[in-house]
Amino acid sequence: MSQVFILNLSLIILLLPLLSFLIIIFNQKRTIKSAPYISTIILGIDLILSLIVAYGKLVTYSDIEYLQYKYDWFNLGNKSITIGIGVDNLAAMMLIVVNLISFLVHMFSIEYMKGDKRYPRFFAYLGIFTFSMLGIVIANNLLNMYIFWELVGLSSYLLIGFWYEKDSAANASKKAFITNRVGDLGFFAGIMIAFFAFGTFMFDDIFNQISNGVLPFGSSTILTLMGILIFAGAIGKSAQFPLHVWLPDAMEGPTPVSALIHAATMVAAGVYLTARVFPLFTADAFLFIAYIGAFTAFMSATIAITQTDFKRVLAYSTVSQLGYMVMALGVGAYTYGFFHLVTHAWFKACLFLASGSVIHAMHHAMHHHNEHHLDPQDIRNMGGLKKTMPWTYYTFLLATIAIAGVPLTSGFLSKDGILAGTLAFANLSGHWLIPIFGFSAAFMTAFYMFRLTILAFHGEPKTDIAKHTHENNMLIRFPLILLAILSIWFFYSLNPIDGGSGWFAHSFKAAKTVVPKDLQYKWLIPNKTEHHSTEHNNLDIGFETTDLPKEHHYLNKFEEEIHHQHYNAMFLSLLIAGLGIGLAFFIYHYKKLDIDKITEKIKPLYNFSLNKWYFDEIYQATFINGTIGLSKAMFWFDSKIIDGIVNLSGWITKIMGFLIGLFDNIIIDGLVNLIAWIINIFGAGVRKLQSGRVQTYILITAIFLIIFIWWIF
Amino acid sequence: MEIGLFHYLLVSAVLFCLGVFTIITRKNAILVLMGLELILNSANINFIAFAKYSGMNFDGHVAALFVIILAAAEVAVALAIFLNIYQNYKHVNIDEVSDLKE
C-alpha cells in the first residue's frame, strides 16, 4: 500500500457519496424502491475503503505526519492557487467517524423514512451531505475547506428543511443557514488574512511560515485575530455561544438527520477545523476559545435540564458536549478534545437514533390508535418504554452512561481527559472559571441525561400511546447496537480509567504550536530536549512528508501537568457524575423530592432555563429587529431620497422639455410660418397677373418690349 | 423718289404692327391666326429686303422659305387645336378660353 494509493483511495472515498447523490437525484422516479439500498451500499463500500485508509495511515505510515498532495489549480497574478487533499491521523479517524455514522444513518433511514413522499430525495441529500463533510475532512488547505464548509451548510439546509411543508422546519433551515453564514463570514475573513499574509492556503505552508517568524502584517495582534476569525467559522458550525441558537431548532429535520448532522459530523466540523489549525492559535486566541467552549458547555447544560422535547434535550446536550470539545482545544488538551469528538460521535449518534426509534414507535402507535394530537417527541407523553422497547432502552442507557462519564465507557475516558486538561490549564494559568464551568456542566449532563432516561423509559406509561409502542425492526436496532458497543472503553484504551495510555492518545498526539514563543503559553512550547527533525522527504510524485518527532516522554509541560491532574480530575468527575445521576434517580425515579415544589421555589431560574436564556428573544429584539429596522430605514431612504432624486431629475427634464417645446412651437415655427405667409402674400399679388388670356400676355409682352426698346435707345 | 430699303422696312413695320394689333384685339381665334400670318409675312419682307440691299446671297430667301413652310405647319397645328377648342366650348372665342391659367 503506497502513499499515493492511500491518497487516491481517500479521493475515491470523497467522490463515492457524490456518485450516490447524482445517481439518485436524477432518477428519483426510477429509484423509489431502490434509492436507499443503492446509497446504503455505496456508503458501505465507502466505510470499508475508509477503514483501509485509516489502517494504512495509522498503522503502515504512522511515522509520517501528513500525507498530502498539492495541485496548482490556477494562477492569479503572481500567486498560484493550490488545492489538494491530505490525510493525517486526524483525517483518517474522521473518515471512519463520518462514514460509519453516515452508513448507519442510511441504514436507519431505510425504515425510518419509509412512506415519505420524497423518499429517494432524502438519500440523495444524505449523499451530498456526506460528500461535503468528507471534503472538509481531507482538505489540506483553507480554500478546499471553505468550499466544502459551505457545501455542508447548503446540504444541512436541505436536510433540516426536508419537510419544508412544515413552517417550523422551513424556518429552522433558514435559521441554521443564516446563523452559519455569520460564522462563515468570520472564517472567510480569517482565510483572507491568511492568504494575504502568507500567499497560500496550505495548512503546512502557513504553519511553516509562522514558525519561521512571519507574522501577518508583522503584527501579533493580527495573528491572534486571524485565529479567532477562523475559529468563528467553528463557532457557527459547532453551535458555540453566541451562534448556538440554530442547533436546537434544527431538530425539526428528520431524526436520522439530527443524528448525522447534529451529533457526529457537521457540528464536529467546527471542532475538526479548530484542531486542524491548532498550531497557529496564540495564547490569547486559546483563552478566547477556551472561554467560549466552557461557557457554551455550561449554558446549554442548564437549558437542557428543563426541556421536555426528547430531541431538544439531546440537542442542548450536543451543544454542551461540543462546548467541551472546544474548551479542550482551547486549554490545549488537543488529544482529549479530538478523543471526545470521536467518542461523542458514537454515543450521541446512538442517543439520537434511539430517540428516532422511540419517535418512530410513538408515531406507529399513534397511527394505530387514530390519535393525532399528541406530540410524539414530548417526554411527558412517554414513560415505561423500557418494557415495550428493550433494545432501544438498553442501547440508550449505555450511551447515557457514556455521556454522563461513568467509568468503563468511552465517554469517561475522553471527558476525564478534558477535565484534567482544564484543571491543568487552571493550575498553570489561574483561569479557574473554566474547570468550574466544565465540572458543573458534567454534573448537569449526568443529571439531565438520567432525567431524560427515567422520564422516557422508566415508570408507568403516561399515555395509552406509550403503552402500545413496539420495538422496531433490525434496520433500526442494528445501528443502535453497534453504536452502543462502540461506547465501551476497550476500543480506545485497555486501561478503563486512563485514556492517555491507549492507542488513541498515542495516535493523536497534540499538534505542536508554531506560534513564536513570546506569544504562546510557555507550557505549550515543545520541550527543548525534543529532537526536531526538519528533514523533508520529498518523493518524486510530489509528496511532502514530515517526520514525526522522536518519541518523547512528554511533548510539553502541559502534557505533564495533565498527567498530574489526571487523578484529581477523575476523582472529581466521578463524584460529580455520581451526584448528578443520584439526584436524577432521587427526584424522578424514587420521587423523594417533589420536583414541582422545587420548580416553584426557583421559578425565575426555571423559566430562565426553560426559555433557553431568552437567546431567541434577545436576538429577535436586537439583530433581527435591528436588521428589519435597518431594512426599513434603507427602504425609506431608497423610496424617498433616491427615488426623489430620480423623480426630481425627471421633473426637471420634463420642465426643460416643455420650455424647449414652447420655444420650438412659437419662435422657430413662427419664423417658418412668417416666411411662408410673406411668400403667400406675394404669391396672391402675382397670381392676379396670370389671367389665362393669351392676348393679355401678348399685350403685356408687347408693352414691355416697347418699353425695353425705348429704354435701350 | 426711289424705292429703297427704308420703304420695305416701313411696309414691314406697318404690317407687323397691324398683325400685333389684330392678335391683341380680335376675339375670334381665326382672326388671331390671321394676325399671326401678318407678323410672319412682315418678317419675310424684312428677310427679302435685307437680302436684296446687302449683297446678293440666298440666305434671306432661304429663311423666308423656311418661314412660309413654318407658317403652313403652324396653321395646320393651330387649326387642329381650334377645332378641339370648338368641340369643347362650341366657340373659338379666345377671351373665354382661359384654362391655361390653371
Nearest to B53 by CA among B3, B5, B2, B1: B5
Q: Which of B25, B94, B102 sits opposite A694 (nearest CB)?
A: B94
Bridge partner residues of A79 (DSSP):
A76
Q: What is the pLDDT of residue A600?
A: 77
Residue B13 falls within a domain, yes or no? no
**Do the domain assignments include residue B4?**
no
Higher pLDDT, B101 or A293: A293
Nearest one of A175, A133, A411 to A272, comparing CA atoms: A133
CA-closest candidate to residue A393, choices A471, A464, A466: A471
Q: Is B2 an interface residue toward A (CB < 8 Å)?
A: no
The CA-atom distances, in angstroms, between A417 and each of A65, A324, B87 are: 23, 11, 136
Assess if residue B21 is contained within a domain: no
Which residues in chain B are closer than 8 Å to A698, comparing Cβ atoms? 20, 23-24
- The per-residue pLDDT for range B26-74, each reduced to its tens digit, is 888 888 889 989 999 999 999 988 888 877 778 888 989 999 999 999 9
Q: ∠ CA A508-A511-A516 to the nearest 5 degrees?
A: 170
Q: Chain A partners of B20 at a C-beta cutoff of 8 Å?
A: 698, 702
A691 chain-B contacts, CB cut-off 8 A:
98, 101
User: Chain A closest CA to B68's CA: distance in Å?
Assistant: 22
Q: Is residue B55 part of a domain?
A: yes
| Dist CA A239 CA A246 (whole Å) | 7
Largest interatomic CA distance in chain B: 55
Cell of A599: 420548580
CA dist., res. A232 & res. A223, Å (int):
14
Chain B residue with CA closest to A687: the answer is B101
State the CB neighbour count (10 A cutoff) for residue B85. 18
Q: Is A700 on the interface with B (CB under 8 A)?
A: no
- Residue numbers in chain A where pLDDT is lower than 70: 527-555
Ramachandran angles phi, psi of A80, nearest 5°: -105, 135
Q: What is the CATH classification number for the domain harbouring B88?
A: 1.10.287.3510
C-alpha cell at A407: 467509568
Summarised one tens digit per residue, pLDDT across range A180-198 is 888 999 999 999 998 888 8
Distance CA A314, CA A333 (A): 25
Minimal Cβ distance to B24: which of A690, A692, A698 = A698
Across the interface, whether the CB atoms of B101 and A702 are under 8 A apart is answered no
Distance from CA of B28 to the nearest CA of A (A): 11
Cβ of A694 under 8 Å from any chain B Cβ?
yes
- Whether B48 is in a domain gets the answer yes
Q: B residues 11-70 near A, CB within 8 Å?
A: 20, 23-25, 32
Q: What is the pLDDT of residue A527?
A: 64
Q: How far apart are CA A467 and CA A388, in angstroms?
A: 7
CB distance from A690 to chain B under 8 Å?
yes
Q: B95: which chain A residues are within 8 Å (Cβ-Cβ)?
A: 693, 695
Yes or no, beta carbons of B24 and A690 under 8 Å apart: no
Res. B100 pLDDT band, cuts 50 70 90: low
Longest Cα–Cα distance of chain A, Å, equals: 155
* Tally of structural domains, chain B: 1
Handedness of CA B29, B30, B34, B40 (dihedral sign): positive
pTM of the model: 0.75
Provide the total of helices (H) and of strands (E) in chain B, helices listed first: 3, 0
Chosen from A687, A688, A691, A693 to mutate, greatest number of chain B CBs within 10 A: A693
Structural domain that includes position B69: 27-93
A702 touches B at CB < 8 Å: yes
Does B5 fall in a domain?
A: no
B71 in a domain, yes or no? yes
Judge whether A699 is closer than 8 Å to chain B, CB to CB. Answer: yes
In angstroms, the separation between the Cα of residue B51 and the nearest Cα of chain A is 24
Q: What is the pLDDT of residue A408?
A: 84
Residue B1 pLDDT exceeds 80: no
Find which of B25, B27, B95, B97 to mutate to test the A interface (most A CBs within 10 Å of its CB): B95
The DSSP H or E segment spanning A261 is: none
Torsion of CA A176, A40, A486, A236, to 10 degrees: -10
Whether B24 sits inside 8 A of A694 (CB atoms) is no
Q: Which of B17, B21, B24, B97 to mutate to test the interface with A (most CBs of A within 10 A)?
A: B24
Q: Where are the alpha helices (DSSP H) in A430-556?
A: 433-457, 464-467, 474-485, 503-507
Residue B14 lies in a domain: no
DSSP assignment string, A655-679: HHHHHHHHHIIIIIHHHHHHHHHHH
